[in-house]
Amino acid sequence: MKPIYRKTLISVVVGALILGASFMGKSSMEKPKEVAKKPKTAASKMPLVNLMPVSHQKVYDNITVQGRLIASKKINIVAEVGGKIEQTGKTLKDGIRFSEGEMIVKIENKVQELSLRSAKASLMNVVAVILPDLKIDYTDNFETWKSYVDAFDVEQPIAEMPTPKSEQEKLFIASKNILNQYYNIRSQEEQLKKYSITAPFSGVLTTANVNAGAIISPGQNIGEFMNTASYELEVPIAQLDMKNVKTGASVQLVSEATGLTYKGRVQRFNEQINTQTQSVTAYISVVGKKLKEGMYLKGTMQGKQIEDVAIVPIESITDEQKVFVYKNEKLESLPIEVVKSYANHALVRGLNTGDKVLVDKIPTAYDGMSVKIASEIETLENISF
């Protein structure tokens, strides 16, 4: 082979090898193409919603009440006579309990007792003096007067005087000033009772203003006495609700401080309307353990009956007085009538039994919006009327 042809062949082979190497290097440097992601479907973008089936029922529009307890029996102990307070079995201190009829205050009355006995002795003497005249002139009534004198005891309350059997006997008794003495003694006996103050009912001394040994004057306030067995709750009732509240109505009450529940009953109403609140005060009797005057109670009493209404969450109602219901995987808005609104729910009309109401509030909700069901709830929690 000629030298010129050999050089040409070598050049062609070398060029081919260079081109091949260059092509292979370029191919190895190229990145593999990424696999295209599968586009999301419309179903995967649907919002999840919670629904509640509609059921119609009748409910009572209960009236919420709240107030503070006051004792149904509470009195101020006021002295009607003056004198020195004597020591009794119990001290005069706040919180001391007394049973009905038990002595609370005893005022020294020795002088008054002696004066009363003297008056009784004088009367007995006068009656004894006229016995001979009665035996002669009024024989038919003599034994009655004699028995009266025989039973006379200055240490005991005076007995009722015999009744004259004739007009003449009556005038004779009056002329001896016997009746005047008799009624004076009765008056002194009543006055003497005022030196002893007993408990008119079982209760507790809530305020004591004096101590044993103190000298008091007529009209002085000795303290305050309260019955702890029964209380009244004063609550305001709106005029609109008054037509639904009657005397004797039952009230369910609770103390938020102790968690204890009580049953009350409406006893009466104040006929005067509060000009500031336009409400009427109702008085509810409450009896139970661990009640204290001033305790705060709240509760409900049964109001008017509302029929054929559905209960829906307050969040479900739009500003246009509509709710969204679920139909064929889409939302549809329905107009409603709100009968009564509460803290977290409302009584409405305009829905059909079985409609599935949207529970959650979705600001972007619209008619025809596609949604998926997350859950269905039977009833709302924490419902109170």
Average pLDDT over residues 343-350: 89
Angstrom distance (rounded) from CA 44 to CA 34: 23
Answer for the pair 278, 323: CB distance below 8 angstroms, yes or no.
Answer: no
Q: For every residue of 230-255, which 3-state class applies, written as one string?
A: CEEEEEEEEHHHHCCCCCCCEEEEEC
Sheet containing 215-216: which strands, arranged edge to edge?
Answer: 196-198, 103-107, 83-86, 215-216
- Using CA atoms, how far residue 184 sits from 110, 118, 188, 245, in Å, is 18, 12, 6, 54
Give the per-residue pLDDT at 59.
Answer: 84
Q: Rounded to 5 degrees, what are φ and ψ at 3?
A: -60, -35
- CA geometry: angle at 248 spanning 246 and 252, to 5°? 95
> Amino acid identity of 105?
V
Domains and CATH numbers, the chain: 48-61+306-376 (2.40.420.20), 64-70+228-304 (2.40.30.170), 73-109+195-226 (2.40.50.100), 111-193 (no CATH)
Angstrom distance (rounded) from CA 305 to CA 385: 11
Average pLDDT over residues 209-218: 94
Give the per-residue pLDDT at 189.
Answer: 96
* Residue among 231, 252, 351, 232 at smallest CA distance from 303: 252
Burial class of 300 by CB neighbour count within 10 A (0 to 12, 13 to 18, 19+): middle
Average pLDDT over residues 302-308: 83
User: Would you give the distance in Å from CA 244 to the centre of its chain?
Assistant: 18
Q: Rounded to 5 degrees, what are φ and ψ at 105?
A: -130, 135
Each residue's pLDDT tens digit, 4-13: 444 444 454 4
- Using CA atoms, how far residue 194 sits from 80, 84, 189, 218, 263, in Å, is 6, 13, 9, 10, 40
- Please tell me the pTM assigned to this model: 0.64
Calculate what percentage of the chain has a pLDDT beyond 90: 64
Angstrom distance (rounded) from CA 26 to CA 21: 9
Answer for the pair 365, 320: CB distance below 8 angstroms, yes or no.
Answer: no
The 3-state DSSP class for residue 191 equals helix
Count, residues in the chain:
385
Q: Where are the alpha helices (DSSP H) in the chain?
A: 3-29, 110-137, 142-150, 167-175, 178-193, 239-242
Mean pLDDT of the chain: 86
Give the per-residue pLDDT at 246.
Answer: 87
pLDDT at 96 over 80: yes
First to last CA, the chain: 116
Average pLDDT over residues 169-175: 93
Residue 296, strand partner residues: 68
pLDDT at 371 over 80: yes
- DSSP annotation of 154 reads T
Task: Tokens for 376, please give them.
Answer: 């269905």
Angstrom distance (rounded) from CA 17 to CA 167: 170
Q: For every residue of 315-356, which 3-state class applies, written as one string?
A: HHCCCCCEEEEEECCEEEEEECEEEEECCCEEEEECCCCCCE
pLDDT at 14 over 70: no
Each residue's pLDDT tens digit, 230-275: 999 999 998 888 888 889 989 999 999 999 999 999 999 998 998 8
Angstrom distance (rounded) from CA 4 to CA 16: 19
Answer for the pair 226, 74: CB distance below 8 angstroms, yes or no.
Answer: yes
Answer for the pair 228, 204: CB distance below 8 angstroms, yes or no.
Answer: yes
Average pLDDT over residues 35-58: 70
Contacts of 358 (CB under 8 A, 6+ apart): 49, 50, 51, 316, 323, 324, 325, 326, 331, 365
Task: Tokens for 58, please give them.
Answer: 């009748």
Give the per-residue pLDDT at 383.
Answer: 59
Give the per-residue pLDDT at 47.
Answer: 87
pLDDT at 24 over 70: no
Give the per-residue pLDDT at 12.
Answer: 44
